[in-house]
């Protein structure tokens, strides 16, 4: 999965390491990709499997890489990420970073990283108050490292004072601030469809299409990051649905119509990026049809889900896609009008370097008021952001002025 923004979560050895797991989950729910890195001591408190299960990626552990692993994770991992968060941060990792000591994977990564770093210290209050620790923190602050907490209270050893890991929500807020995440979709219910439908021919064969689901997943992740509540309804996809979405699988156009129809009732925005098959098989066989010389299959049209939602539309913002091979803009505009859309995203599927199964796309976005924006070849994650920007602008523009 490529959710666009990746955060490296460093977990060091303290009793609060289990809260690192909660943090990983919360970051994933924001539509962020999380790469966990654990120190040897962290593994004494929580297993790497916990983080692997939560983040969906193998944990980077202390020690030298095994044959076949990335030989230089300390360089490549922070380069592919936007932020490092160390939670909990022990006096040890703070001291190492402040003094340029690189003696395991995480401390080496911290020195190699050219991205913002957030540290959430957790330790015994006497240790936290120690002048050496305080000097190390002060030094790191002057170098731009952001600190969240610690908070005051009873710590694991039974003593009371400043040394508790800051509340996970506070660390999440610091991450949002550091990444400059927009909150302009707070409170919005967004329904996104993705992937391709599959219409059964018999018990084993189907008619499908080439959609990978990447565009829809990028939109769902971007909407999550901006604060929306996201429902993802998908057919077949090559990618995983992002953590944090309410996910429904709908393999046929009929199933998708039902799922979208239900979700549409409480939606503020529907973005139909699924490639819905236009036909289903008439008189589908329940068993497997035996091989034969000739086989003529008769097809009947599927419901047009988007057109149907266009009819049912009240205050929802409706975004549709138009995959075209010729006269793309003209055909896209026609769809916008026929299906009562607010925004249409047109892509030229005759090109091999973008579109289907690619991480890139090049689109033209047209709004119902005729504004045209051409987005040059860009990652689908960037295009997702532009689509949401436009949909929000149209939505705000159509609200009655007070």
CA distance 45 to 152: 22
x/- mask, ligand C5P, residues 221-260, rule CB under 6 A, reads --------------------------------x-------
| Shortest Cβ 395–ligand C5P spacing (Å) | 18
Instruction: Choose between 82 and 361: whose C-beta lies nearer to ligand C5P.
Output: 361
Instruction: Choose between 193 and 243: whose C-beta lies nearer to ligand C5P.
Output: 193
Interface positions, 335-354, toward ligand C5P (CB under 6 A): 335
List the catalytic residue out of 157, 246, 371, 372. Answer: 157
Instruction: Choose between 37 and 274: whose C-beta lies nearer to ligand C5P.
Output: 274
Among 5-13, 49-57, 68-76, 298-306, which window interacts with ligand C5P (CB under 6 A)?
A: 298-306
| Shortest Cβ 341–ligand C5P spacing (Å) | 8
- Using CB under 6 A as the binding rule, whether residue 278 contacts ligand C5P is answered as yes
Sheet with 6-11, strands from edge to edge, namely 33-38, 6-11, 83-89, 117-121, 146-147
Q: Report strand pairing: 343-348 vs 360-367.
A: antiparallel
| Shortest Cβ 357–ligand C5P spacing (Å) | 17
What are the contacts of 301-304 at 24+ separation with CB within 8 A? 302/197, 302/199, 302/253, 302/254, 302/276, 302/277, 302/278, 303/253, 303/254, 303/257, 304/276, 304/339
**8 Å CB contact between 93 and 16:** no
How far from 282 is each of 54, 199, 200, 299, 325, CA to CA, in Å? 43, 10, 10, 5, 28
Q: What is the DSSP letter of 31?
A: T
105 catalytically annotated: no
CA distance 150 to 125: 9
Among 35-43, 80-88, 273-281, 349-357, which window interacts with ligand C5P (CB under 6 A)?
A: 273-281
x/- mask, ligand C5P, residues 299-318, rule CB under 6 A, reads ---x-xxx------------
Among 222, 224, 245, 274, indicate the residue that binds ligand C5P (CB under 6 A): 274
Q: What is the DSSP letter of 71?
A: S
Q: Report strand pairing: 372-379 vs 317-324.
A: unpaired
Interface positions, 129-188, toward ligand C5P (CB under 6 A): none
Instruction: Choose between 71 and 301: whose C-beta lies nearer to ligand C5P.
Output: 301
Among 149, 216, 320, 385, indicate the residue that binds ligand C5P (CB under 6 A): 320
DSSP 363-390: EEEEETT--EEEEEEEEHHHHHHHHHHH
Catalytic positions, please? Answer: 157
- Which residues are near ligand C5P by CB under 6 A? 253, 272, 274, 276, 278, 302, 304-306, 320-322, 335
């Amino acid at each position: 999965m490529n959710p666009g923004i990746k955060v490296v979560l460093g977990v060091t050895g303290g009793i609060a390491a289990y809260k690192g797991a909660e943090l990983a989950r919360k970051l994933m729910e924001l539509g962020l990709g999380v790469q966990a890195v654990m120190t040897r001591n962290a593994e004494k408190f929580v297993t790497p499997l916990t983080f692997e299960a939560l983040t969906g990626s193998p944990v980077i552990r202390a020690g030298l890489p095994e044959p076949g692993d990335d030989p230089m994770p300390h360089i490549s991992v922070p380069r592919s990420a936007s932020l490092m968060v160390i939670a909990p941060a022990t006096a040890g990792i703070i001291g190492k970073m402040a003094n340029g000591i690189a003696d395991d994977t995480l401390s080496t990564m911290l020195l190699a990283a050219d991205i913002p770093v957030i540290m959430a210290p957790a330790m015994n209050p006497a240790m936290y108050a120690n002048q050496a620790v305080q000097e190390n923190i002060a030094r790191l602050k002057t170098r731009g490292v952001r600190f969240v907490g610690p908070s005051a209270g009873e710590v694991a050893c039974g003593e009371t004072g400043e040394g508790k890991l800051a509340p996970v929500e506070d660390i999440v807020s610091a991450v949002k601030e550091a990444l400059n995440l927009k909150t302009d979709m707070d409170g919005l219910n967004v329904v996104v469809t993705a992937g391709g439908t599959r219409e059964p021919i018999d018990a084993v064969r189907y008619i499908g299409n080439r959609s990978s689901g990447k565009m829809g997943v990028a939109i769902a992740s971007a909407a999550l990051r901006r604060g929306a509540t996201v429902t993802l309804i998908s057919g077949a996809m090559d990618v995983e649905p992002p953590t944090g979405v309410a996910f429904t699988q709908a393999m046929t156009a009929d199933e998708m119509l039902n799922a979208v129809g239900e979700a549409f009732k409480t939606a503020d925005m529907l973005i139909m990026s699924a490639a819905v098959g236009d036909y289903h098989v008439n008189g589908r066989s329940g068993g497997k049809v035996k091989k034969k010389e000739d086989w003529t299959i008769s097809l009947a049209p599927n419901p047009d889900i988007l057109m149907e939602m266009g009819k049912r539309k009240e205050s929802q913002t409706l975004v549709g896609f138009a995959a075209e091979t010729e006269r793309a803009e003209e055909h896209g505009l026609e769809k916008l009008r026929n299906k009562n859309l607010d925004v249409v995203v047109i892509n030229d599927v005759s090109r091999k370097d973008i579109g289907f199964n690619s991480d890139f796309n090049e689109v033209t976005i047209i709004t119902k008021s005729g504004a045209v924006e051409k987005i040059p070849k860009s990652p689908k994650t960037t295009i997702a952001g532009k689509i949401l920007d436009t949909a929000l602008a149209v939505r705000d523009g159509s609200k009655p002025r007070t």
